[in-house]
Structure 1
């Protein structure tokens, strides 16, 4: 299986409790890039089996348009994990999200299990990085298998495991976030930032989105529909950025391969053109989603 080549928007990826059928129905109309139909933290033990059925039915339905639909299974070692994984593979979502993936060996074991259960090729593995062990092994995790498409940072669990605190600016997490970003870029996989817990604090949420975007994340995982639109706005190129990117590319093309040109008084080299082309491609991919 080859890795992804074209940019796929993952600016906003919303956790949805699969035990809540009304929420799953509402998600069909949300302007979100991706959904994580949750069987884990958001679902009480008595509702796990019903949630599994709901999530698999939703993944098979084809009613979510261009939204990327994934299922988060319960973690390895829980009594639900094996049945969750088998059912998710049979349903064939865009991705299967697995919590607390701590090593490359775990990635390989999950990929082998997906193949045993007949998961279609389009169903990719999303690995959650949310423990000190996973952070320290993240480079090996990210490059363990071509079936791995996305790293998902679990900031709540990571804060708990570190004995840290949730503070503005996330200083206690910056080292871990940066290590995970380095690993994702080295391996050529996407990476999603963790959730923001206070759904009433949109100012704080937008600030954390901007921090994640500035660090290099592809998008952010969300816990409330009200977070979707501000997240989409932050993780999309602005009108000004797109216009500047088009200007840089036009100046470069007009230079007819001279190697160095100027645009608005600034020197432009090949690396600047590559960045500009990526901005344009990102904007076009987002626009193509409507």
Structure 2
């Protein structure tokens, strides 16, 4: 897990806002989604596309994972967005409403035709009922697919559900997307929390997402970054426990039963502990730029 990339906090930034793009260089988020879709008015799409491509190609965002969200398949801006984003070479191109494995393969073909470098991955937004039902096929459809980004607002809308604390109406969908992502070995990033003034609710949802197994959370405001970073990072206690567990296991090799803090230790526990330490080390290596 030496190449683990933290994605605790992935912040949407409107590419039509020059000040926002500049501010993003100093925000301590793990990832950025330079948005060409929802956050950009139709008459600003072309200029936002140019600005996002320039920002992604600039190399001025330090260790942050910089991605570009294009407009959806079938919109009048999509094809030009894919070409510009591919040529800019961000860490990933984020595409809304990806509903099938066939759509992924078409997107990958378009990216490669436009000259996307090998490091530029595709991040598929999973936000419709059909995408949830076909999540495993989508997740396994291409080696260039690097992540699922859950679009919880659209998912709630499409299900005729409601936004409620605890997210009971969409928990089966979230679990399905996580199962598919883990089966395919890709990252899975939780959806946004809409009320930027409700800190307690936001932190509770971050904690829920971490417990479920998400890699991190998409955010709509810089004020949410600190909370997401803390929630999706291993605690000091978790790190110490992982170190102790691994040490006990290695010291007890050859023994019939190995225990740590009174609990039986098996290889699967060691694997989880090593993942915890890999995440901790990767976060520590990020620095504070």
Bucket of the pairwise TM-score, normalised by the shorter protein = over 0.9
Structure 2 residue ranges without an equivalent (≥5): none
Provide the residue aligned with 1:40 in structure 2: 37
Aligned counterparts of 1:136 and 1:88: Cα–Cα separation in 2:
29
- 1:289 lines up with 2:286 in the alignment: yes
Equivalent in 14, 17, 20 of residue 17 of structure 1? 14
Provide the residue aligned with 1:186 in structure 2: 183
- Other structure's SS at 2:149 match: strand
RMSD across aligned positions (CA): 1.0
Provide the residue aligned with 2:82 in structure 1: 85
Q: How many residues align?
A: 287
CA contact 1:127–1:150 (8 Å) conserved in 2: yes
Q: How does 1:163-182 map to 2 (within 5 A)?
A: 163-182=160-179
Provide the residue aligned with 1:202 in structure 2: 199
CA contact 1:128–1:151 (8 Å) conserved in 2: yes
Q: How does 1:1-290 map to 2 (within 5 A)?
A: 6-258=3-255, 260-290=257-287
TM-score when normalising by structure 2 = 0.98
**CA 1:69 to 1:47, structure 2 compared with 1: closer, same or farther past 3 Å?**
same
TM-score when normalising by structure 1 = 0.98
Aligned counterparts of 2:46 and 2:112: Cα–Cα separation in 1:
23
Deviation at 1:259?
5.5
- Other structure's SS at 2:217 match: strand
Deviation at 1:5?
7.5
C-alpha deviations, 1:220-249, integer Å up to 9, x for none?
000000000000000000000000000001
Aligned counterparts of 1:36 and 1:225: Cα–Cα separation in 2:
12
- Other structure's SS at 1:262 match: strand
Deviation at 1:89?
0.5
Deviation at 1:7?
1.4
CA contact 2:203–2:228 (8 Å) conserved in 1: yes
- Other structure's SS at 1:252 match: helix
Deviation at 1:267?
1.1
- Other structure's SS at 2:115 match: coil
- Other structure's SS at 1:35 match: strand
Aligned counterparts of 1:46 and 1:122: Cα–Cα separation in 2:
31
C-alpha deviations, 1:248-267, integer Å up to 9, x for none?
01111111343531111111
Aligned counterparts of 2:51 and 2:241: Cα–Cα separation in 1:
45
CA contact 2:249–2:258 (8 Å) conserved in 1: yes
CA contact 1:259–1:269 (8 Å) conserved in 2: no
- Other structure's SS at 2:63 match: coil
Deviation at 1:121?
0.2
Deviation at 1:182?
0.3
